[in-house]
Structure 1
């Protein structure tokens, strides 16, 4: 009697990804996303082995803060910060002292990365000036890596951010190229890709991920994993849609937990050497048990505390969980 196809697949991936570090292809990722529930634990176990083999046991911890919230001119259908939707988020700016205090609180958790985010299509001169002042004020007070997420950039803006000492730049592709027009209509997937190319050429680390559970097909989810693998980002933040009131995706259902865990493990196998970060929506989609399973199924980084417009897990809860799992927080000198 022939062995089940899924058993053959996991054996094949154990040899190619775990032993040789060859990323899973989009076709293999699609097969993983279709695995039956009874094979989920085996898949998670393999993904954990891959993470430990190619990334090690350390977990990178990051905090994020919104410098400029709301009033964004873009129509990203998942985002309550768009000024085009009837969502409850209103435009607001943080002052420099609030930014520094947020960075200090983040550092106290043991985090090595602090990300400054702004809800914009791309930064204007006012925002660039504010970011420069904020980065300098943070550097004067504490020792922490600073990342930014400010939308699409010009070549000059990329050079300026690199000169400011920005360690990593986040700009998510959000979803597969083929599904992107169903998610955003005010700019293109290719425009985002161009910014990421400029960031890499300037010597900053590339942080690029997206959101799953936005109505994409499994084929498109596998396509997205393959496109991220082609980009070879240093970090992939993996978000799960948290439907926000007033947005076009506000009525979508939460992604089933088993599908979310399959996605985590499949993305790890497609990106064996990449920092794969738990990001928004995991609290609702996976809960505490799911957070544990994800950390034992390929995840090796977390955002602690709250997100931009939604609540996250308390930072202490994630740090305590890492301790229970004997997963050390990556030290700052390992990320510089």
Structure 2
């Protein structure tokens, strides 16, 4: 059997994710088979997730000045990047959530550039969740760094429905990306999130110098933690960071990665996040949405400009994919 036959049988027909060796083969499918691969991934997502596309907006409650050295991130206080520390108030967060909901988005994520939240930040996030829930009907998730079990429970009690903490890359490659904490620390936070009953959201970035084998390893390791949602970012090399001069991921390589992640996790929400505009452009974004993706972050990202939400909504209408409703 070819890898396309295996993908069709396991992922599409049975809803079973491919193993690491099979995912390596997916990532090496030749150009002439890429369209067929994307079709299998798209039909897998339609069968096991349905046609709806989830739209999410994100906002940073605390930007810049992070003590960690994630080599891709311009929010690290250890690099000479142009990002400067800033913090939003409750009214600004509510306004952002309202604007997000008006576009048809059903999810809103509150993010902070910290290693882990202190009591003051958790208090502010709790106040923001209450205020947002009073003002608008939208699901709220958070991404505030590593958590203890107690902090995870506190966020759950505050009303956070989902928690994002990206594994970022394969376990074997992680030390080449971050040195101030470990892959295992990130995994422990996800264990805490699951234990208290919040939904687990975890993904990472494609194109940080990892091999195709490590890319397959990453997709397989994500599948093992069974996340509710996986954000897929493509490296957007930021000035002042160690990865500032890295090349962009070619479109074909990006689309193979999308298919591989879908075939690793047939039933998971797979969300386009940062860097898709650079790696894929409009044409590639549409191909991704017809090649395994079933969710997007719309609008701007944390420190980079994305596409206007209205343009993403128009695109979904053009390719006849409905926006998920609450």
Tell me the TM-score range normalised by the shorter chain. over 0.9
Q: Which of 44, 69, 72 is 1:75 aligned to?
A: 69
**Following superposition of structure 1 onto structure 2, how do residues 37-186 of structure 1 map, counting pairs within 5 Å?**
37-186=31-180
Ranges in structure 1 where 5+ consecutive residues have no aligned partner: none
1:251 paired with 2:227, answer: no
What per-residue deviation string (whole Å, max 9, x for no partner) do you get for residues 157-211 of structure 1? 1111000110100000000000000000000000000000000011110000000
Query: For 1:246 and 1:266, how far apart are their aligned partners in 2?
Result: 31
Match of 1:231 among 202, 225, 233: 225
RMSD of the TM alignment (CA)? 0.7
Contiguous gaps of at least 5 residues in structure 2: none
Q: How far did residue 17 of structure 1 move?
A: 1.1
The one-character-per-residue Cα deviations of 1:252-300 (angstroms, maximum 9, x if unpaired) are 0001110000000111000000000000000011000001000000000
Following TM superposition, where does structure 1 have runs of at least 4 consecutive aligned residues deviating by more than 4 angstroms?
none
1:293 is aligned to 2:287: yes
Tell me the SS of whatever aligns to 2:260. Answer: helix
Compute the TM-score of the two structures, normalised by the length of structure 2.
0.99
Q: How many residues align?
A: 326
Deviation at 1:325, TM superposition (A): 1.5
SS in 1 for 2:178: coil
Q: Which residue of 2 aligns with 1:190?
A: 184
Structure-1 separation of matches of 2:7 and 2:256: 15
Alignment of 1:265-284 (within 5 A): 265-284=259-278
Distance 1:42 1:181 in 2: 35
Q: CA deviation at 1:15?
A: 1.1
- In 1, the alpha carbon distance for the partners of 2:80 and 2:26 equals 38
TM-score by length of 1: 0.96
